[in-house]
Amino acid sequence: MAPKRVTLADVAKLAGLSTTAASMILNGRPDTRLSQDAHERVLAAAAELNYRPNVAARGLRTQKTRTIGFISDRVATTRFASGLIEGALAAAGAADHVMLVLETGGEAKLEASALEAVLDRQVDGIVFASMRARELYIPELPAGTRSVLLNATSQGHAVSVLSDEYTGGRTAVEVFARHGFTDGVAVLGYSEEAEHGLFRSVAVSRRVDGVKDALAEHGIDVAVWESVWLWDADTGYVAAKKILRRHPGIRALLCMNDRLAFGAYQAIQEKGLRIPDDISIVSFDNDELASYLRPGLTTVALPHEQMGRHAVSLLLSDDAAPGERLVPMPLIERSSVID
């Protein structure tokens, strides 16, 4: 039914020229000495036949495929970090590239085969993404294969894109500072283990550092640091309940992420207290939840989409200077902080 693919040879024949000429013209090579007339004929022929170059054939010759590989642990999968893919996809599309997406679930065996799969397809570059900022082991790549780490770091000199957690931590505290809180503040989710570098991600400890420094600078007195290991809604609920019971004077609560905050909302509202009138809350991540909550949760956003975008444009640019690129974490103000 549909006609078979048009090749460069077809275009050349219709234009009455060689494939060499057609190729040069269609690729807009600057140094060509072909006539104006030849240009017009080739372009017209290509348009008429609706010519599209065969990427495999071109890639074979040029080693460029306008394709990038995106290898992640569970980024597409997890609703949480899917913004990373979204941004990467958008940036790739804007640069007229496509993206091969592979997920490994963090398994070493799958990681190796995913890497082979993209390498076999001669991708122009690879993004190694991680759901939560952590240290990744990246095997040696063939010479000339560019790569960028997204939401991850790695030993050695790789380029990596991360959220600026330290400044983000400060931003959250500054909300309280701006609203005049100097005491009656509780922090939920600070983790001793993270602090001592046991495991978890670099992100966590930087976020905590930012919080601590800003707290000190603004002279804010912290009534209680409630350290929990799992940062989810359930732990948030339990921990917030405990804080409320033991420290009835709390007027402001800083949660280390939105799921904790979600749990805290439940505990607070169950107790008949009102947000933000009785207790103000600031949190991190800007999870989808934050907008559903009532009142809306003020939170320091994880700029996932921006990060994905940045990673891909870095990969495609010629800025390969090793090191970290920090993407700012914007404050999303809703209604969980009293005026």
List contacts with DNA (CB under 7 A): 5, 7-9, 16-21, 23-24, 26-27, 29, 33-35, 37-38, 51-54, 57-58, 60-62
What's 257's DSSP letter?
Answer: S
Stretch that binds a copy of itself, among 7-15, 99-107, 176-184, 321-329 (CB under 8 A): 99-107
* Angle subtended by helix axes 233-246 and 258-270, to nearest 10: 50
- Of 8, 22, 91, 101, the residue at the interface with a copy of itself (CB under 8 A) is 101
Nearest to 201 by CA among 134, 249, 258, 149: 134
Stretch that binds a copy of itself, among 56-64, 175-183, 213-221, 243-251 (CB under 8 A): 56-64
Stretch that binds a copy of itself, among 47-55, 185-193, 209-217, 311-319 (CB under 8 A): 47-55
Structural element, H or E, at residue 261: helix 258-270
93 contributes a contact to a copy of itself by CB under 8 A = yes
Contact 315, 68 (CB under 8 A): yes
Q: Which of the listed partners (a copy of itself, DNA, none) does 93 bind, with a CB threshold of 5 to 8 Å by partner kind?
A: a copy of itself
**Which amino acid makes up residue 305?**
E
DSSP class per residue in 53-77: --HHHHHHHHS--SEEEEEESSTTT
Q: Which of the listed partners (DNA, a copy of itself, none) does 256 bind, with a CB threshold of 5 to 8 Å by partner kind?
A: none
143 contributes a contact to a copy of itself by CB under 8 A = yes
Query: Which residues, at least 6 apart from 36, have a Cβ–Cβ distance to it below 8 Å?
Result: none
What is the CB neighbour count within 10 angstroms for residue 331? 16
Interacting residues toward a copy of itself by CB under 8 A: 1-5, 52-57, 59-60, 65, 67, 76-80, 82-83, 85-86, 89-90, 93, 98-103, 110, 114, 116-122, 140-143, 232-233, 237, 259, 262-263, 266, 269-270, 288-289, 292, 294
